[in-house]
Amino acid sequence: LENRWYNCFKGEINNMRVLLAGGAGYIGSHTAVSLIEAGHEVVIVDNYDNSCAEAIARVEALTNTQIPHYEVDVKDKAALDAVFKKEPVDCVIHFAGLKAVGESVEKPVAYYRNNIDTTLTLLEVMKENHVNQIVFSSSATVYGAENASPLYETMKKGTCTNPYGWTKWMMEQILSDAAYADKDLSVILLRYFNPIGAHPSGTIGEDPQGIPNNLMPYVSQTAIGKRECLTVFGGDYDTPDGTCLRDYIHVCDLAEGHVKAVEYAQTRKGVDIINLGTGTPYSVLDIVHAFEKANNLKLNYKIGPRREGDLAVCFSNADKAKEVLGWQAKRNLEDMCRDSWNWQKQNPNGYKK
């Protein structure tokens, strides 16, 4: 494996073998497709806490490949170690985590236990198996309320408003400390903004359980009649139309950003923080109207009260990703809305038949 890594480094081979922890989920499944399309191999580990094996079967069908995959809890060190022994990899992408902001307020201990423990276990098992590269799913939430948009990677991290956000904040710290101590380690902290959309085939997409917390699944479930009416959370913010501004990014662009990140991870050591966003803010009403226009339908919505914890404005400066990774988002809001709806229409009940 060490030889293989060295050859990678010299540019003599450029296909990597990447372990996706939490790879059956929304972002992981799209990243699997992009990695395979770029000539890399993937191995997936997931406990299906918020996903199912059907997503992997769909990725296999889309890419015409077989993907080694294991139903393993990343916190289970012995089971994870067995996967590393059986499936040597060059790099890990760590998607495995609980991510519902509201639920994290109700169940903080479960969030800290799962998110922190998966990270520690991965780091231990990586070290024992001489895997030195990790790309981590962080979040714009670590900028907190103190920093004004556009958000730059050089800004000091802020104060999070919920346990979910704090887990991301802490995991960034843990990974940075690990890289400081172990000079062989290559850590890329990717701070995602608001991923939406789906693969244009409509065969993989976001499949939230129960009532969606996030905007786009709520919009598409309203359009299909599963929800009666979208409530726009707050119409009196200090923004051009009174609704919150966010940096929505097509999940396929985000996935391609991961391909660039794993390739970049081979060429350097230490920690890099990189925003994955478009740099362009849109309001909630922009999303509603773009969804109506792209899909030629009418959406039932009303303006309601603000949601606790929401920031008025949150968007990235996306220059570093362009400079360092040679990556920038290519897909526009219309693509995001069309592809979200295409997935919803083809899979009214998500992956459940």
Residues in touch with ligand WQD (CB under 6 A): 99, 101, 139, 141, 194, 213-215, 218, 230-233, 244, 246, 284, 307, 310
Other Cβ atoms closer than 10 A to 78: 8
Q: Which amino acid is at 346?
A: Q
The pair of three-digit structure tokens given for residue 88, joined into one six-digit string: 């040597």
| Catalytic-role residue among 26, 164, 248, 282 | 164
- Of 26 and 282, CB closest to ligand NAD: 26
Q: Determine the Cα–Cα distance for residues 176 and 174; give it in Å rounded to an integer.
A: 5
Contact of residue 328 among ligand WQD, ligand NAD, none (CB under 5-8 Å per partner type): none
Burial (0-12, 13-18, 19+ Cβ within 10 Å), 277: buried
The residue at minimum Cβ distance from ligand NAD is 25
Q: By three-state DSSP, how is residue 313 classified?
A: strand
- Of 230 and 251, CB closest to ligand WQD: 230
The pair of three-digit structure tokens given for residue 245, joined into one six-digit string: 């501004």
- Of 5 and 327, CB closest to ligand NAD: 327
Contact of residue 310 among ligand NAD, ligand WQD, none (CB under 5-8 Å per partner type): ligand WQD
Detail the DSSP E strand segments found in 219-259.
230-233, 245-246, 248-250
Contact of residue 150 among ligand NAD, ligand WQD, none (CB under 5-8 Å per partner type): none
Q: By three-state DSSP, how is residue 184 classified?
A: coil
3-state helix, strand, coil in the chain (%, to 5): 40, 15, 40
Q: Which stretch binds ligand NAD (CB under 6 A): 40-48, 217-225, 237-245, 325-333?
A: 40-48
Instruction: Give, to the nearest 10 degrees, the angle between helix 163-181 and helix 108-128.
Output: 20
Which residues have C-beta within 8 Å of that of residue 87, sequence separation ≥ 6? 17, 19, 43, 68
- Of 62 and 151, CB closest to ligand WQD: 151
Does residue 281 interact with ligand NAD by CB under 6 A?
Answer: no
Contact of residue 96 among ligand WQD, ligand NAD, none (CB under 5-8 Å per partner type): ligand NAD
Active site residue 164: yes
The residue from 32, 89, 93, 95 that contacts ligand NAD (CB under 6 A) is: 95
Helices (H) and strands (E) in the chain, counts: 12, 14
Contact of residue 47 among ligand NAD, ligand WQD, none (CB under 5-8 Å per partner type): ligand NAD
The residue from 8, 74, 223, 271 that contacts ligand NAD (CB under 6 A) is: 74
Does residue 24 interact with ligand NAD by CB under 6 A?
Answer: yes
- Of 80 and 185, CB closest to ligand NAD: 80
Residue with tokens 């660039």, as numbered in its chain: 260
Judge contact between 69 and 56, C-beta under 8 A.
yes
In sequence order, the β-bridge partners of residue 71 are 46
The residue from 5, 84, 111, 192 that contacts ligand NAD (CB under 6 A) is: 192
Q: Determine the Cα–Cα distance for residues 135 and 154; give it in Å rounded to an integer.
A: 18
Q: Are strands 245-246 and 282-283 parallel, antiparallel or unpaired?
A: antiparallel
Other Cβ atoms closer than 10 A to 241: 14
Q: Residue 226 Cβ, how far from ligand WQD at the closest point, in Å?
A: 13
Does residue 97 interact with ligand NAD by CB under 6 A?
Answer: yes
Q: Which stretch binds ligand NAD (CB under 6 A): 22-30, 58-66, 266-274, 345-353?
A: 22-30
Contact of residue 46 among ligand WQD, ligand NAD, none (CB under 5-8 Å per partner type): ligand NAD
Q: Which of residues 202-261 bind ligand NAD (CB under 6 A)?
A: none
Q: Determine the Cα–Cα distance for residues 138 and 175; give it in Å rounded to an integer.
A: 11
Q: Residue 14 Cβ, how far from ligand NAD at the closest point, in Å?
A: 26
Q: By three-state DSSP, how is residue 112 classified?
A: helix
Which residues participate in catalysis according to the annotation?
164
Residues at the site binding ligand NAD, with contacts judged by CB under 6 A: 22, 24-28, 46-51, 73-75, 95-99, 114, 118, 137, 139, 192, 195
